[in-house]
Amino acid sequence: MILKPRHRTGSGRAGRRVTRAVAGVVSLALVASAVTAVTVPQRADALPLQQHRPMTYNMQGAADGQLAKWTNTVRTQARTHDVIALQEAGARPTSMGTPETAAQQHGMRVDRYLWRVETVDSDPLDQGGVRNVYFMETDPGGHRVNLAIVTPYAADEIIIIPPSFQSSRPAFGIRLGTTVFFTMHGLSGSGNDDNGLLRQMNQQVTGNRCWVALGDFNREPHRWNPAGSSLQTPGFDPNLPTLPGTGRIYSPNEPTHVLSSGEMRELDYMVTNCNLPSEWGGNRIGDLSSDHVPVEFRPLAADAKGRKKTVISKKNAKALDQREDSRINRPQRFWGVVKNRSTSATQRYSLRTVARGQSQIVNEYNQCLHEVDTPFSTEPNLHTKTFWRPCGIDSADRWRLIFSTVHSGYMTLLNEGTRRCLTLEGEGDHPVGRSCTSGTDASQLWAAVPALEQGDTGADDDGPGPRPDETGEQQARPDVTWNITPSSGPELSRNYNDMIGSLRRAAGAHPFRGNVGQTTADPDRIIRMRVELQDSRGSSDFLTLYLSAHDTRLRGWTNDQGTYQFGDYDLGSRIGGSPTSMVFGSSDASLRSAWTQTGQPERHASVQRDLSANEIKDSLYGLNDYRPGGDVTPVIRASLVLSTVVTHAAHFGAVSHVSSDTLADRNPTGNHSLNDTMYGLFDDWEALSRFTRNITNFPVTTEPLDLDDPDITLRTFKEAENFVILIS
């Protein structure tokens, strides 16, 4: 059902006659009570899909518009994404004011709110800081499983898609120029209403317009037949639905839904019949406030140059490649080998998800890395051979990517057909299948790094492993980068958000998620963060921070005068060399005690809770300027501030949101403070992590966890998970 709103301002259509067609036409009036003295969001005109930045996010419900999922995740992402499709959006966001009815048909209503997410001057999308929130209540009983779309643009049309069948859910979309964006939520467990919803979209949107379905499909991407396929098409499965029209799936090729049981599935993606450049795809955004992660859609750049991936061995840094061999009497089949990195198409891969947790390694000739389940030799030398051949449906073409919790950026490749791990054999150049080891064997560790382009030397890759620095010395490549601009404002805030997202990905899933991608408890794993401190003259200082991966706590740093470590942590044994030791430890308790001993009048709680952009920047300069034997007071202060804006911000979304707002403030001395609950959680993180790990592994003997601030007792993993989601 298409409902065409008429906008009184900003559209150039005031006074146009409203036609009473079957589709129905509903006037959209501005809601002054929603936002006082706002600039009305503009129209999107006829922007093609590739000029939008869409995103989908299943919020797992929210009690009202005041809760952190709206004010943290959605509000933050609305600054940089111009179409956000929400599922399980919770109760009506009453904090946004009184809505207007934007569309109503078939007993379903779409309301429109105006929501300020940014100041007029600071809006990265240059839309006056205001967003439209189009909201449909599909769950009048529970007020939880509802739909919404957030956009800076006023919709040209509202399209309501009724449920595919009784007891299924509706969907709705907004037309922005020639593109219609839908939000949809397939039925839990099967997504068996997805097909009906997509077919209605394809029928409703005609002519020169195209449709985009964003949502939680509750169906993995591989459980669709390609558009236009039939029983005569190789690989066609009559038990699966077929994408309508010219529909095509764009997905992150990674799990987007995580259950506390440990099951991971890819359910959140985009389906569209719009023409998109070939490099477009889905990208997960690091957020843990729901059991789904947000997914954005954009040109996929493996690095700043937009390159595809190459898979290299940790053992010798050579890349997976192929070599023709006369002993193989079959066309289009080649030995699997490793070679020095090059720009060859046989070293440019896509990692294509084909089943739950399984991927194909596909080169630009559409050949897949395949392991033949015919063992050679006997134990302990028993192994299988690898070949490249045209991609098929054989399980031996499929690999599970098991990321290392010890060697950041590396993974083990487990073959689904043979149950053996890809191994670089001896001193040779043939990758083979062998029994999997502990996950620390360099011959079984691989990394996906950007493929080389013409003129590249490989020295600027973003993948794991050593690289030469400006002096020619070998140093470890940073896992995370953070760029500090001279002035506070939106750019500094965006750089911070990028850093926190990268830090969370580098650390892995948080321990309170149980066994799902749990970060290692091994204290030896170090995350290296390279900080660029720019000044107003265009020059930069570089500072390296070292954080322990399991808790993202600062353990030491390197400036141009040397490397330093805290007194309770032997950083030298992890990174090499002999760092200078501080007399105080790295924990919050040690830093607070050390601060008190300096005799400074400001309480340590104020240092950690009361933030300004200058305070955050000064903390980094305090570490950068430290010299051996110098005054340690700036170091202690800096460590307390960074404990807030780095360590605890990586744990709790509410803390990173306050830190982001602090850096976005154009007044560099503007004060932004954490509330009592946020600050109280600092001391609870370790206890929460320990409890959820124990309750997962030892559910009978683990005692309940009593927290003091806030005063709460947690008895089960689900209670702990819900608590962390609530305060994240």
336-366 per-position pLDDT tens digit = 889 888 888 788 887 776 654 577 888 877 7
Contact by Cβ (8 Å): 513, 495: no
Mean pLDDT of 237-262: 85
Mean pLDDT of 639-654: 88
Q: Say which residue the tokens 């990268």 belong to.
A: 502
Least confident stretch, 14-28, 647-661, 714-728: 14-28
Alpha helices, DSSP H, located in 537-652: 572-575, 588-597, 604-609, 613-624, 633-642, 649-651
Between residues 408 and 239, the one the model is more confident about: 239
Residue 684 phi/psi, 5-degree rounding, is -95, -15
Going edge to edge, which strands form the sheet with 480-484? Answer: 480-484, 526-534, 540-548, 553-559, 562-565, 580-581
Q: How confident is the model at residue 190 (pLDDT cuts 50, 70, 90)?
A: confident
74-104 per-position pLDDT tens digit = 888 888 788 999 999 887 666 788 888 888 8
Between residues 552 and 95, the one the model is more confident about: 552
Q: Whole-angstrom Cα distance, residue 278 to residue 327?
A: 37
Please report, rounded to a whole number, the percentage of residues in the chain having pLDDT higher than 70.
73
Q: Is 80 exceeded by the pLDDT of residue 149?
A: yes
Cis omega (within 30 of 0) for bond into 380: yes
Q: Whole-angstrom Cα distance, residue 486 to residue 478?
A: 22
Q: Enumerate domains of the chain plus CATH numbers.
A: 51-302 (3.60.10.10), 309-450 (2.80.10.50), 480-706 (3.40.420.10)
Residues pairing with 553 in the sheet: 548
Least confident stretch, 49-58, 66-75, 393-402, 615-624: 66-75
Query: What pTM, to 2 d.p., does this model score?
Result: 0.45
157-175 per-position pLDDT tens digit = 999 999 988 888 999 999 9
Q: Whole-angstrom Cα distance, residue 323 to residue 304?
A: 30
Question: How far from 570 is each of 119, 239, 476, CA to CA, in Å?
Answer: 45, 58, 18
Q: Whole-angstrom Cα distance, residue 596 to residue 129?
A: 42
Q: Whole-angstrom Cα distance, residue 464 to residue 447?
A: 7
CA-nearest of 584, 632, 636, 643 to 608 is 643
659-676 per-position pLDDT tens digit = 999 999 999 999 998 877
Between residues 16 and 97, the one the model is more confident about: 97
CA-nearest of 553, 513, 491, 691 to 79 is 491
